[in-house]
């Protein structure tokens, strides 16, 4: 157990980080970050305000928060501000996902009702959340596909080049699947999600990119139509299974849709060991926090829901895969995303 001085610092640091995150999101939303991203030389608060058509006094305070937290850089005169080129891509990704924190705040009132014993069991993802997730996926799609999904599937990559049938369940707005369809024109792709608005958006994006080898349907992974049984050579899901009321039932649907010689890639958040094994790890503190506001409410659609949450752990995932009748061929822990594991399964 840590002493009181260290404990006070840790708790205070979490509060400070939350405050900085709010200012960082504000700086993104009003265009301050875009101005700094595009600047070829350091800028003053006056120049940033002028370019953004903003009030300088507020700009000065915002960039003060960002400079003292070292999110942006300030010169010795304390008047010139910039973002180093090698920091820009990182900051773009982080601030894209930062919208999720704002969505969590918007859900606070509903979360209080849900936590009440007599309150509703959960609540579904909404448009703002999908938008936050998809902005992040757009910025990281190549990294996700290459590092989390395809890195351990050389045989699938070879088959994609020649032409196979692929499905992604829980595709949201189809960002990853559209990328695959563009990469592998000889293969055909089906994306599905329970959200009609997401599917419509995915269809629009496919049409804009003139991709004719991909289609999108509204399917419930817990109740897939028999018409797609034995239809796919490769099925993949990313961060989807734990959000469902019954992951075990979903795995049965995947099993029926997969061809006998097919491969299923179930990419999930993979906490290893017990809660006590990851104490003090801010990554898992973040995962449990996100799961509280997002994953548990999404999956807890009825009292009988499993509601595993994002941190359900690799041991439980392995057991569910085995119970579903799959052979777990390999587990691949992403080198880029320490919380991601790809369970590669076959019949």
Same domain, 174 and 305: yes
DSSP 3-state assignment of 189? strand
Name which of 300, 4, 341 is nearest 125 in CA terms. Answer: 300
Q: Which tokens go with 2?
A: 């840590």
- CATH number, domain containing residue 41: 1.10.10.10
Q: What is the pLDDT of residue 103?
A: 84
Beta strands 340-346 and 258-269 are antiparallel
Same domain, 222 and 331: yes
What tens digit of pLDDT does each residue of 123-172 get? 887 767 777 777 777 778 888 899 889 999 999 999 999 999 999 999 99
Could you say which of 61, 81, 97 is where a domain stops?
97
User: Quick check: is 110 in a domain?
Assistant: no
Same domain, 36 and 142: no
* Residue 328 DSSP code: E
User: Quick check: is 111 in a domain?
Assistant: no
- Entry pTM: 0.86
What tens digit of pLDDT does each residue of 202-261 get? 999 999 999 999 999 999 999 999 999 999 999 999 999 999 999 999 999 999 999 999
Q: Return left, alpha or beta for 307; rule: phi > 0 is left, psi -120 to 50 is alpha, else beta.
A: left
User: Quick check: is 340 in a domain?
Assistant: yes
Check if the beta carbon of residue 245 is closer than 8 Å to that of residue 306.
Answer: yes
Dist. CA 137–CA 54, nearest whole Å? 30
Residues 6+ apart with CB under 8 A from 58: none
Same domain, 59 and 194: no
Percent of the chain past pLDDT 90, that is, above it, reads 76
Q: What is the pLDDT of residue 127?
A: 64
User: Quick check: is 311 in a domain?
Assistant: yes
Q: Which tokens go with 157?
A: 């990559």
Same domain, 272 and 312: yes
Residue 279 predicted with pLDDT over 90: no
- CATH number, domain containing residue 174: 3.40.50.150
What's the pLDDT band for 77 if we cut at 50, 70, 90? Answer: very high
* Strands in the chain per DSSP E: 73-74, 81-82, 165-169, 188-193, 214-218, 232-238, 258-269, 327-333, 340-346
Same domain, 338 and 279: yes
User: Quick check: is 115 in a domain?
Assistant: no
Same domain, 171 and 227: yes
Same domain, 179 and 83: no
For CA atoms 267, 141, 177, 186, the dihedral sign is negative
Residues 6+ apart with CB under 8 A from 57: none
User: Quick check: is 102 in a domain?
Assistant: no
Phi (first) and psi of residue 266, to 5 degrees: -110, 100
Dist. CA 42–CA 83, nearest whole Å? 8
User: Quick check: is 118 in a domain?
Assistant: no
User: Quick check: is 113 in a domain?
Assistant: no
Same domain, 272 and 160: yes
Range of the domain at 274: 123-346
Question: Which residues, listed in sequence order, are joined to residue 166 by a DSSP beta bridge?
Answer: 189, 234
Same domain, 156 and 50: no
Could you say which of 97, 113, 137 is where a domain stops?
97
Residues 6+ apart with CB under 8 A from 346: 261, 262, 263, 264, 326, 327, 329
* Residue 144 DSSP code: I
Same domain, 166 and 209: yes
Could you say which of 63, 97, 131 is where a domain stops?
97
Dist. CA 52–CA 72, nearest whole Å? 17
Residue 6 predicted with pLDDT over 70: yes
Same domain, 167 and 90: no
- Per the structure, the count of domains in the chain is 2
């Amino acid at each position: 157990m840590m002493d009181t001085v260290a404990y006070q610092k840790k708790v205070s640091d979490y509060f400070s980080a939350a405050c900085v995150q709010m200012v960082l999101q504000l700086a993104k939303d009003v265009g301050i970050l875009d101005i700094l991203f595009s600047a070829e030389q350091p800028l003053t608060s006056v120049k940033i305000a002028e370019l953004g058509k903003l009030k300088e006094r507020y700009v000065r305070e915002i960039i003060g928060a960002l400079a003292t937290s070292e999110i942006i850089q300030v010169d010795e005169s304390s008047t010139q501000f910039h973002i180093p080129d090698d920091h820009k891509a990182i900051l773009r990704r982080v601030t894209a996902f930062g919208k999720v924190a704002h969505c969590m705040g918007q859900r606070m009132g509903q979360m209080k009702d849900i936590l009440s014993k007599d309150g509703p069991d959960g609540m579904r993802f909404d448009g703002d959340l999908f938008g936050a997730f998809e902005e992040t996926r757009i910025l990281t799609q190549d990294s996700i596909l290459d590092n989390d999904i395809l890195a351990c599937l050389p045989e699938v990559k070879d088959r994609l080049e020649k032409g196979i049938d692929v499905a992604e369940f829980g595709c949201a707005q189809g960002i990853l699947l559209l990328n695959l369809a563009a990469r592998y024109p000889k293969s055909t792709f089906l994306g599905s999600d329970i959200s009609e608005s997401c599917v419509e958006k995915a269809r629009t994006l496919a049409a804009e990119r003139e991709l004719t080898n991909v289609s999108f349907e509204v399917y419930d992974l817990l109740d897939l139509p028999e018409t797609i049984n034995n239809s796919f050579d490769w099925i993949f899901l990313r961060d989807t299974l734990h959000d469902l009321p019954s992951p075990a039932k979903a795995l049965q649907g995947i099993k029926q849709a997969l061809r006998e010689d097919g491969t299923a890639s179930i990419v999930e958040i993979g906490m290893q060991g017990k809660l006590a094994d990851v104490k003090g790890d801010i990554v898992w503190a973040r995962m449990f926090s996100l799961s509280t506001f997002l994953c548990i409410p999404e999956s807890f659609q009825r009292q009988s829901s499993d509601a595993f949450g994002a941190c359900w752990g690799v041991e439980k995932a392995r057991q569910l895969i085995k119970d579903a009748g799959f052979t777990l061929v390999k587990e691949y822990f992403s080198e880029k995303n320490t919380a991601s594991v790809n369970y590669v399964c076959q019949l």
